[in-house]
Amino acid sequence: MSAAGVAPTAVVAGRPSRDIGIALTVAALWLLLALFVVYPLVMLFARMLGMLGGRGSVDFGALLALLTDRNQLRAFWNSLLLAFLVGTVGTLAGFLFAFTATRCRLPRAAVTAIDASVLLPLVSPPFTTAIAMIFSFGPRGLITYGVFGLKGYTVYGLGATLFSEALTYFPIAYLTLRPILTAIDSNIEGMAQSLGASRWRVFRTVTLPLTVPGIANAFLLLFAASLADFATPLILAGNSFPVLPTQAYLQITGLFDLRGGAALSFALLVPALIVFLLQRYWVSRRFYVTITGKGAGQTPFDSVSPGGRIVLIASVISITVVVAYFYALLLYASLVVALGANHTPTLAHYRVIFTDGWNAIRDTLIIAGFSMPLGGLYGILLGYLVTRHRFPGRRTMEAVSMMNYALPGTIVGIAYLIAFNDPPLVLTGTALIIIACYVFRYGPTGIRATVALLQQIDPSLEEASQGLGARSGTTFRRVTLPLIMPAFFAGLGIVFIRSMTAISATIFLVSISWTLITVKILEDITELSLGPAAAFSVLVVVIVFVVVAGISRVLREFRAPGAPGVSLFGG
């Protein structure tokens, strides 16, 4: 996350928009938001209360019994505990990486290596580490038994889930913290030291306090990510550590208790909303204060002692080795007949995914291909309108546009399933429902990037264009758009990555005509057809790497000299 989360109200041009084009665009966006954000959530709530669609009136007693069921309460607290731990561990790891990358005077190649190893978990389907965990730990695990000779150790539970989620999500913390650590003027640290402070004291009293808002932001992002994740616990949490997103999923798909599943989802809404509001109104505001302007000549500050440097680098290398080990294992699993029984090399699994799995690959690419431009367009349009134009309900629009982003995917998916399965708008079974889900769930990254960029561009440029007689549409196309191209591509990139890797919402939306690679992987894992699951995962990693590299290239082309940089993952 860059400085994108800042409230945009302060820099809005003071000119109310009377332009018909603007009015129409605003109306269209409101219609879309009403349809794909508000309507599903209202329907979910109504279904839960039994106001429609259900059989007969709602049995509040049963609903209350479900919500206060000892086991569901335990799942609720487990979810919070897991999210808290993932937030803590992941932020620590992310800080470690960011601090090492920015303060250890590493050679360029080493920093690139760190970036690559961090990118890997970020672009993989969220449960690929879970596959590797099953292999490595357990009574006959490659590591527990093979290396340490432990017997009777079982992998399933809090530890494994925490480990897997922290490893998957810590890159978010890294990407949040690294720009902040880079932005801190090293002259400040240098001055503190020349005033006699030890390195540790400089870290404790200067560097750390300046990073605190970023740390809090990273923690909250990880907390939300963990709270929304149901696939990892589904595979690794076992039966002794139920968590709420998984319970809601089983309640609906296993027991076909839609009402109960909805109720459980809304229970998740409470902590999710608290986290969102905290991030939106507290952290993002404090965030800005730490950006101290463009540093003049930076004097390199020797912030790490030689011993500390070795410890830091060693820690980073060991985590990198773990990441590399998991993905090497995944690659290996995709290339042998049956991991654990028959290690004859084979390409059979790749043949399987390109024949039997071809539909899923094709569908995923088509859906990702459509979600990508739509999500990018949606992001810049909405971001531009709420930043540069004044119209009634502007702030509400921004808040509403963030809702699907902030809510756990399970809730969004269930809400879509309920809302679009019956008339007036029947979308289940189409690709459109999946595309809409991705656009409105991940498009907001583009909104944030657009808002952040526009805040750094003087509105007088656009006013000049309009003063010369250009309509707002023309001004937008010819002046604003080229300036916010980086945000467009950042939005594209995130929507594409998520379209290839997300599952929590869309598992409810796949159908006979449209299925997704991630859903196939999950099915393969639950059936323990690990070869095809591993091959699919490798394929996803390769596709995403190629596309992200392509987008990053275009992004560099479009960045005007001196224009603020936008990280592809900045949100």
Q: What is the 3-state secondary structure (H, E, C) of 106-157?
A: CCHHHHHHHHHHHHHHHCCCCCHHHHHHHHHCCCCCCCCCCCCCCCCCCCCC
108 binds other proteins (CB under 8 A): no
* Cβ-based burial of 334 (10 A; exposed 0-12, middle 13-18, buried ≥19): buried
Site string for other proteins, 47-76 (x = CB under 8 A): -----------------------xx-----
Residue from 52, 64, 65, 255 binding other proteins (CB under 8 A): 255
Size of the site for other proteins (CB under 8 A): 64
129 binds other proteins (CB under 8 A): no
238 binds other proteins (CB under 8 A): yes
Q: Which helix (H) or strand (E) holds 178?
A: helix 158-183
Backbone angles phi, psi at 345, to 5 degrees: -65, 140
Please state, in angstroms and rounded to a whole number, the distance separating the CA atoms of residues 249 and 361: 24
Q: Which is nearer to other proteins, 179 or 261 (CB)?
A: 261
The residue whose two tokens read 């530890």 is 159
Site string for other proteins, 519-548 (x = CB under 8 A): ----x--xxxxx------------------
Q: Is the peptide bond before 424 cis (omega within 30 degrees of 0)?
A: yes
Q: Name the segment binding other proteins (CB under 8 A); options: 9-17, 208-216, 396-404, 472-480.
A: 472-480
Please state, in angstroms and rounded to a whole number, the distance separating the CA atoms of residues 89 and 225: 13
Sign of CA dihedral 151, 156, 162, 163: positive
Q: Name the segment binding other proteins (CB under 8 A); options: 179-187, 199-207, 396-404, 416-424.
A: 416-424
Q: Name the segment binding other proteins (CB under 8 A); options: 17-25, 119-127, 374-382, 536-544.
A: 374-382
Q: Which residues contact 488 (CB under 8 A, 6 or more apart)?
A: 376, 377, 379, 380, 446, 450, 481
Instruction: Tell the smallest beta-carbon distance from residue 234 to other proteins (Å).
Output: 7
Residue 531 tokens, joined: 């070869």
| Alpha carbon separation from 136 to 129, 145, 153, 330, 332 (Å, rounded) | 10, 9, 11, 11, 13
Residue from 483, 497, 517, 548 binding other proteins (CB under 8 A): 483
Task: Tell which positions 261-320 bind other proteins, by CB under 8 A.
Answer: none
Q: Which is nearer to other proteins, 189 or 524 (CB)?
A: 524
Residue 347 tokens, joined: 């390409």
Residue from 435, 534, 541, 568 binding other proteins (CB under 8 A): 435
Residue from 16, 21, 146, 340 binding other proteins (CB under 8 A): 340
252 binds other proteins (CB under 8 A): yes
Q: Which helix (H) or strand (E) holds 343?
A: strand 342-345
Residue from 56, 149, 152, 307 binding other proteins (CB under 8 A): 152
460 binds other proteins (CB under 8 A): no
Instruction: Tell the smallest beta-carbon distance from residue 320 to other proteins (Å).
Output: 27
258 binds other proteins (CB under 8 A): yes
Which residue type does 259 have? R
Footprint on this chain of other proteins (rule: CB under 8 A): 70-71, 134, 138-141, 152, 154-156, 234, 238-239, 242, 250, 252-256, 258, 337-338, 340-342, 356, 366, 370, 373-374, 376-377, 417, 421-422, 426-432, 435, 461, 477-479, 481-483, 485, 510-513, 515, 523, 526-530
